């Protein structure tokens, strides 16, 4: 799932390629995924619009058009945006294809059909957008603000990190990385954390996101639809040795979400919700 670092680097890659380009052709292949919140035909709304800005908010990518409309991409688990020369043939899960004035195309593909692309004039119409908290890497979010917001999410620490109302941009992969860096058991409850642990969590969050962005800037090439995750310490590494202590990395699956962590570096007891 693309998260803050992935989408930030995608934004950097796409902005110079898209801004100023005119949309010459529109094909909606999967209308359940591509939602026109304005009514009318998507084709009519998008044709001859020019990309004005590529922005990001949390786990949404915002493709702003010069007429005041925005294409809001929410990739969820598996949505990918590909910019490049037109493909010789469509793939089964290609949902939206925009042909650009420069002969290239922008293609949204979603192997899981879980993401969405919205066309809107008003971002507040996009589901879950209005409730987003501040960006997880926003310099205006100080330790005090972080701690104060965290207190409003009294459940397990990992659940709090995943809440987009707490802070926007962190998903399953970076939550695992942040907790491993901090040495915190993912299922501990927020109200059991000391002030020092909250401070360590805040620092680890900032470092994990900043380091990932710089790694991805190096690693993501011209192909914008490939997810780079191999540099991670624990996420996706179940059974492999912990880079810090060598113990095998554990996996716990709850509510269809896998959590990867080190039982030695992140000690704790799995207790029931209550």
Q: Which residues are catalytic?
A: 2-3, 59, 257
**Which tokens hold the place of 89?**
């043939």
Among 130, 245, 270, 271, binds Zn ion (CB under 5 A): 245
**Chosen residue from 242, 250, 260, 261 binding Zn ion by CB under 5 A:** 242
In whole angstroms, the minimum distance from the beta carbon of 245 to Zn ion comes to 3
CA distance 142 to 82: 36
Q: How far are the Cα atoms of 16, 156, 179, 206 from residue 161, in angstroms, in the given order?
A: 32, 9, 9, 12
x/- string (CB under 5 A) for Zn ion, residues 21-60? ----------------------------------------
- Least distance (Å) from Zn ion to the CB of residue 97? 45
**In contact, 200 and 178? CB cutoff 8 Å:** no
Spatial CA neighbour of 199 closest among 147, 137, 133: 147
Closest CB 267 distance from Zn ion, rounded Å: 10
Region class of 7: left (phi > 0), else alpha (psi between -120 and 50), else beta: alpha
* C-beta closer to Zn ion: residue 62 or 204: 204
> Considering CB under 5 A, how many residues would be counted as binding Zn ion?
7
How many contiguous H segments (helices) and E segments (strands) does the chain have? 6, 11
Which of 244, 248, 251, 254 is close enough to bind Zn ion by CB under 5 A?
244
Per CB under 5 A, residues contacting Zn ion are 242, 244-245, 247, 262, 264-265
């Amino acid at each position: 799932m693309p998260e803050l670092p992935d989408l930030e680097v995608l934004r950097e890659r796409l902005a110079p390629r898209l801004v100023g380009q005119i949309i010459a052709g529109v094909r909606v292949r999967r209308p359940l995924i591509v939602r026109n919140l304005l009514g009318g035909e998507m084709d009519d709304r998008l044709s001859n619009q020019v990309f004005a800005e590529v922005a990001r908010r949390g786990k949404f990518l915002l493709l702003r058009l010069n007429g005041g409309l925005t294409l809001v991409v929410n990739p969820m688990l598996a949505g990918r945006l590909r910019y490049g020369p037109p493909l010789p043939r469509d793939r089964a899960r290609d949902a939206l294809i925009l042909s650009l004035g420069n002969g290239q195309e922008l293609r949204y593909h979603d192997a899981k059909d879980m993401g969405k692309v919205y066309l809107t004039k008003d971002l507040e119409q996009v589901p879950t957008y209005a409730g987003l908290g501040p960006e997880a890497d926003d310099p205006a979010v100080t330790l005090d603000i972080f701690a104060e917001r965290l207190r409003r999410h009294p459940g397990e620490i990992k659940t709090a990190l995943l809440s987009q109302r707490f802070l926007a941009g962190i998903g399953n992969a970076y939550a695992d990385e942040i907790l491993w860096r901090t040495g915190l058991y993912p299922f501990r409850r927020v109200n059991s954390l000391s002030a020092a642990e909250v401070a360590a969590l805040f620092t680890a969050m900032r470092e994990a996101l900043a380091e990932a962005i710089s790694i991805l800037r190096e690693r993501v090439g011209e192909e914008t639809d490939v997810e780079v995750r191999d540099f991670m310490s624990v996420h996706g590494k179940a059974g492999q040795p912990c880079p810090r202590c060598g113990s095998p990395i554990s996996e716990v699956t709850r509510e269809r979400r896998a959590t990867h962590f080190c039982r030695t570096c992140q000690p704790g007891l799995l207790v029931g919700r209550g």
